[in-house]
């Protein structure tokens, strides 16, 4: 069947998942339903309740840059292997190759991270090994070039752990949960008391947050406008960088998160879903 762009807004573009063969799917492998305390629905049924909105996966967009970053990191030891035989100054060449490597490692991930949280964090960088690498790189210039091998060891350790951190953040599907709300929405009257509310009215952007007791996660309530309708989006954000679907088989939570997720963030069930967003879609 031909599906309008409205369904892409909820279910994502089929090109994001090549194995879907161009189909838009309501249910994908690993999806779980929210607890019964959450009134939820889907684009097949409509009505009232929370609906999962799929976000574009970050992994495929950083795959090639992450692979090339290792190439440039390994290439940065060429001046150590062939001292004073490179076309330019050894240290300058090492710095250039090193900078390219870490730019390819970090910038794409940070650029494509899908959270709204504005808090500063060094994640995914393994900063301890990284800064030890910088120290030994400086010492290899000042004291002895052999110390450059120790610096490279720390840089490689930092790269490996940083890539591992990126991989850990991409294990869970990126989805948030939407609820239509009325124009009379008032955060203080509608959002549960455990949230830190940052505005007294609806706005596009962060409306409330919660991080206490959630470990590596923080929770966000975000205002979203689409066409002439307003929505509240609930997101669980890993390390302030990547949104994880909390109702997914790969989502790892602690007892406090489970208690937190046992109740919906809003005190009411919102408004009826607009008809133009409700269609019959295939299931996996």
Mean pLDDT, consecutive 10-residue stretches, the chain (284 aa), reads: 62 80 78 93 91 93 94 90 81 91 95 79 92 91 86 95 95 95 90 90 93 92 93 94 94 91 93 84 53
Tell me whether strands 51-54 and 175-181 are parallel, antiparallel or unpaired.
Answer: antiparallel
Side-chain half-sphere of 172: how many Cα atoms within 13 Å?
25
**C-beta of residue 25 within 8 angstroms of C-beta of residue 280:** no
74/165 same-domain check: yes
Placement of tokens 């954000």 in the chain: 237
Domain-embedded: residue 97: yes
Q: Would you say residue 284 lies in a domain? A: no
Tell me what pLDDT residue 4 has.
52
pLDDT at 2: 39
Last residue of a domain, one of 134, 169, 204: 169
What pLDDT shows up at residue 280?
A: 56
**Is 43 found in the same domain as 182?**
yes
Residue 145's domain comprises 59-169
CA distance 103 to 205: 29
> In which region does residue 159 sit, left (phi positive, over 0), alpha (psi from -120 to 50) or beta (all else)?
alpha
- Domain assignment present for residue 51? The answer is yes
**Domain check: are 164 and 177 in the same one?**
no
Q: Are residues 195 and 104 in the same domain?
A: no
Q: Are strands 175-181 and 229-238 parallel, antiparallel or unpaired?
A: antiparallel
In angstroms, how far is CA 117 from the centroid of its own chain? 11
Residue 282 lies in a domain: no
Do both 152 and 209 map to the same domain?
no
Note whether residue 283 is domain-resident: no
- CA 220/CA 173 separation, integer angstroms: 17
**How many domains does the chain divide into?**
2
């Amino acid at each position: 069947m031909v599906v309008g762009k409205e369904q892409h807004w909820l279910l994502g573009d089929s090109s994001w998942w090549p194995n879907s063969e161009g189909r838009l799917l309501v249910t994908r492998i690993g999806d779980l339903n929210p607890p019964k305390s959450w009134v939820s629905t889907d684009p097949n049924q409509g009505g009232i309740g929370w609906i999962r909105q799929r976000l574009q996966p970050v992994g495929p967009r950083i795959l090639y840059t992450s692979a090339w970053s290792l190439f440039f990191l390994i290439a940065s030891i060429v001046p150590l292997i062939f001292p004073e035989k490179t076309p330019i100054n050894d240290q300058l060449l090492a710095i250039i190759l090193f900078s390219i490597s870490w730019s390819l490692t970090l910038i794409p991930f940070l650029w494509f991270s899908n959270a709204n949280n504005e808090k500063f964090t060094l994640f995914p960088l393994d900063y301890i090994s990284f800064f030890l690498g910088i120290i030994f790189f400086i010492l290899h210039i000042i004291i002895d070039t052999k110390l450059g091998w120790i610096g490279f060891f720390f840089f490689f350790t930092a790269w490996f752990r940083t890539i591992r951190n990126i991989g850990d953040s991409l294990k869970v599907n990126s989805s948030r949960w939407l609820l239509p709300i009325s124009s009379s929405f008032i955060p203080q009257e509608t959002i549960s008391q455990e949230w830190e509310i940052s505005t007294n009215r609806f706005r596009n952007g962060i409306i409330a947050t919660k991080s206490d007791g959630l470990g590596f996660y923080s929770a966000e309530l975000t205002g979203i406008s689409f066409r002439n309708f307003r929505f509240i989006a609930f997101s669980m954000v890993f390390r302030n960088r990547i949104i994880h679907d909390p109702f997914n088989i790969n989502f790892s939570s602690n007892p406090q998160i489970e208690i937190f997720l046992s109740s919906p963030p809003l005190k009411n069930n919102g408004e009826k879903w607009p008809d133009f967003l409700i269609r019959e879609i295939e299931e996996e």
